[in-house]
Amino acid sequence: MKFYTIKTPMIVQKLFSNYCWRFSSSVKEIYLTFDDGPTPEITNYVLNELNKYKAKATFFCIGKNVKKNQAIFERIIEDGHSIGNHTHHHLNGFKSNNSSYIKNICQAAELIESKLFRPPYGRLKLSQAKSIISLGYKIIMWDVLSADFDPKITPEKCLKNVISKTTNGSIIVMHDSYKSKDKLFYALPKILNHFSERGYVFKAIC
């Protein structure tokens, strides 16, 4: 498992200020995001939990998963959530040449009508970012990483990561994928309950 930080350092946010890392800290709003779906069982669970709290979120979908799970994808939209492009094959930008990477985004765009983009793994070359922005996309990153993808941490640690690091305007990353299932199923309802009780509103990214 490669090194990662739960809270994105301010120096990183300032160095890459053309990416969106968080929103205004003046109001009690939180932006939950879910990467890698739609996935049978997992995404529907997330949608059901969000509905319990009238919470809205943003789903950064992989094109090939949208193609396989069209009904779930349509439910995301029907439930009032935002969608975003997460490439068609979950490509690592660092390991992809620019033309194939952009082509893969465009392939996903045939199924995902959105100008929000999140790079898989958060890995993106500056030259790729320039091309993506020139196509009209807004690159959405995050300031809180739940680490639900990490097999070495417990569900309790995943929950603590979010509870301890989230502040007004935070963008939180979780994953509606099989590898994150146990941590997601444990942490998500507790996150929704914890912040709802404290007067926070969960909003989708527009």
Q: 133 lies in a domain?
A: no
pLDDT grade for 1, boundaries at 50, 70 and 90:
low
Tell me: pLDDT of 206 over 70. Answer: yes
pLDDT tens per residue, range 33-52: 999 999 999 999 999 999 99
Query: Residue 179: how many CA atoms within 13 Å on its side-chain side?
Result: 12
**61-91 confidence digits (pLDDT tens):** 999 999 999 999 999 999 999 999 999 999 9
CB 58 within 8 A of CB 79: no
Q: Is residue 125 part of a domain?
A: no
Residue for token pair 């009690």: 28
90 within domain boundaries? no
Q: Write the pLDDT tens digit of every residue in 8-20.
A: 999 999 999 999 9
Tell me, yes or no, whether 186 lies in a domain.
yes
- Tell me, yes or no, whether 106 lies in a domain: no
Structural domains in the chain (count): 1
Distance CA 21, CA 8 (A): 8
- 3-class secondary structure per residue, 161-192: HHHHHCCCCEEEEEECCHHHHHHHHHHHHHHH
pTM higher than the cut 0.85: yes
In a domain, 190, yes or no: yes
The answer to whether position 1 is within a domain reads no
Q: For residue 134, tell me if it sits in a domain.
A: no
Per-residue pLDDT of 87-112, as tens digits, reads 999 999 999 999 999 999 999 999 99
Show the domain range for 20.
10-82+142-202
How many CB atoms neighbour CB 53 within 10 A?
Answer: 16
Beta strands in the chain (DSSP E): 29-35, 58-61, 82-85, 116-117, 138-139, 144-145, 171-175, 201-202
CATH of the domain at 158: 3.20.20.370
What is the mean pLDDT of the segment spanning 13-34?
Answer: 96
